[in-house]
Amino acid sequence: MSHLHKRFTVEQVTLLLSSYVKGRMKRNEVEEELGVRKTRLFALLKQYRKDPAGFSLAYTRTSKKRLPQRVEVAITDSLLLEQSLIKNPLLPISSYNYSALADRLKEKQNIVVSVPTIIKRAKLLGCHFGKRRKALHDREVITQSIGQLIQHDSSNHLWSPYAKEKWILITSLDDFSRKLLYADFVESETTWAHIQASESLILKYGAPLRYYVDQLRVFRFVQNRDSIWKKQILQTDDVDPQWKQVILSCGVEVIYALSPQAKGKIERPYRWLQDRIVRTCVLEHITTIEQARLVLKREVTRYNDHCVHSTTKEIPSLRFQNVLHEERVGQYWNFLFIMSNNTYCKSEYIFFARCFAKFTATALPTILYPSAISRYLKIKRSGNV
């Protein structure tokens, strides 16, 4: 229904209000004639009784609050900088990230501005790409608890244009909570770097049930790729690389992704981190891997503790802690029972046992995966420990 001043003249409304005040019309009759409800009618009556002669339906629209000139300049400068980053062929950036720009303005310049406002300014400056139609794919959590599946991967990029060489980002992601359990830069991708990454995760959180990796030669031996002999003797998986030997000795299963598309759950966080880290490294003129690690730490904290994941609709750390809280006490008593009845471990399980031994120094273990307890109980029952 259109506004009251477009449907009636001031004289018509004044006559109806006057009739109601003098008792000639009932309230419901006036409401029906004007097409308003009780709250709006009483507001009109209050205005009429205050000044019957000066009653008017005219109103002035309040203008929207304008952004200060300082804020407009900051948004413009940031958008133009984003444009220069996209045009740089050396950087792995191909799109604008308005959310990251809004976060950066808030942190660095204490400027709070909404993302839609930034997008409007971006369209005026020509710093905007239309939305690309993405192929539809299922996004679902296939695991039932934390620790059932750890997605482990690496990414090699020029993370800062001011650095002399590329760095490798190694990460491990819990499938159920989507929390990044491990993330660090290394100067070269070696077997030892991945072993240290897995050791750090297991000593801090416990042994997961499975590791999910690609078919990089660090993780898997593939026939016709990893052999120099013309006559092939060893078939795929006939031998295990050192990383896999370490993981298997911890009682953890290793499964492989057959294509890059199969690892989409960890590729999306990679894109999120890459997009923000590269931009931050440019703005802060990062030149060393130590400085880049500080940037990485901030962005991982933002991803784990502040961002709602698009698939789970929860913050990864909160989802992780909620599941952990439900099972923690029961696991602790199982753990004490296991440790009290086992005084030694065979050499092939030394590394696996270290992650449990670390917890005995505290009143409650930091984290114990359900899969780690069940795995250890299975090994104990089989007589291998």
Residue extents of the structural domains in the chain: 4-50, 69-125, 145-385
Residues in the chain with pLDDT values less than 50: 137-138, 329-330, 333, 336-337, 339-373, 376-377, 380, 385
Query: What CATH number has the domain spanning 145-385?
Result: 3.30.420.10
Report pLDDT for 348: 33
Residue 185 pairs in a beta bridge with: 169
Report pLDDT for 353: 40
pLDDT digits (tens, 9 = 90+) for 176-190: 888 999 999 999 888
Report pLDDT for 222: 67
Whats the size of the chain, residue-wise? Answer: 385
The residue to which tokens 């933002």 are assigned: 302
Report pLDDT for 349: 37
Joined together, the tokens standing for residue 224 give 């016709």
Cα 178 to chain centroid, rounded:
8
Joined together, the tokens standing for residue 235 give 């078939």
Nearest to 383 by CA among 333, 349, 337, 356: 349
Residue 131 pairs in a beta bridge with: none
Report pLDDT for 104: 85
Q: Is the whole-model pTM more than 0.95?
A: no
pLDDT digits (tens, 9 = 90+) for 262-315: 555 556 777 788 888 888 888 888 889 999 999 999 989 998 998 888 778 888
Nearest to 370 by CA among 362, 378, 358: 378
The Cα-based distances of 337 to 72, 208, 327, 334, 373 in angstroms read: 64, 20, 16, 5, 11
Contacts of residue 375, defined as CB under 8 A and 6 or more positions apart, other chains included, come to 207, 209, 251, 252
Q: What are phi and psi of 238, to 5 degrees?
A: -70, -25
Nearest to 296 by CA among 174, 178, 200, 170: 170
pLDDT digits (tens, 9 = 90+) for 223-255: 665 555 555 555 665 677 888 888 888 888 888
The Cα-based distances of 117 to 78, 98, 102, 114, 132 in angstroms read: 13, 10, 10, 5, 21
Report pLDDT for 382: 57
Give the per-residue SS3 of 265-309. Answer: HHHHHHHHHHHHHHHHHHHCCCCCHHHHHHHHHHHHHHHHHCCCC
Report pLDDT for 327: 59
Q: Are 79 and 125 spatial neighbours (Cβ–Cβ below 8 Å)?
A: yes
| Residue 341 half-sphere exposure toward CB, CA atoms < 13 A | 12
The residue to which tokens 């993780």 are assigned: 219
Question: In percent, how much of the chain has pLDDT > 90?
Answer: 6
Report pLDDT for 184: 92
Residue 254 pairs in a beta bridge with: 211
Q: Are 273 and 296 spatial neighbours (Cβ–Cβ below 8 Å)?
A: yes
